[in-house]
Amino acid sequence: ERLQRSLMVCQDKFEAAKLQQIRTDSMKDLELCVDQSIQDSITALPHLAARLKSSLTIND
Reported as a single tens digit per residue, the pLDDT across 19-58 is 887 666 888 999 999 999 999 999 999 998 888 888 888 7
pTM strictly above 0.75: no
36-56 per-residue burial string, b: 16 or more CB within 10 A, e: under 16: ebeeeeeeeeeeeeeeeeeee
DSSP state of 40: H
DSSP state of 1: -
Looking at residue 23, its pLDDT comes to 64
Looking at residue 27, its pLDDT comes to 87
Reported as a single tens digit per residue, the pLDDT across 3-27 is 999 999 999 999 988 888 766 688 8
Average pLDDT, the chain: 88
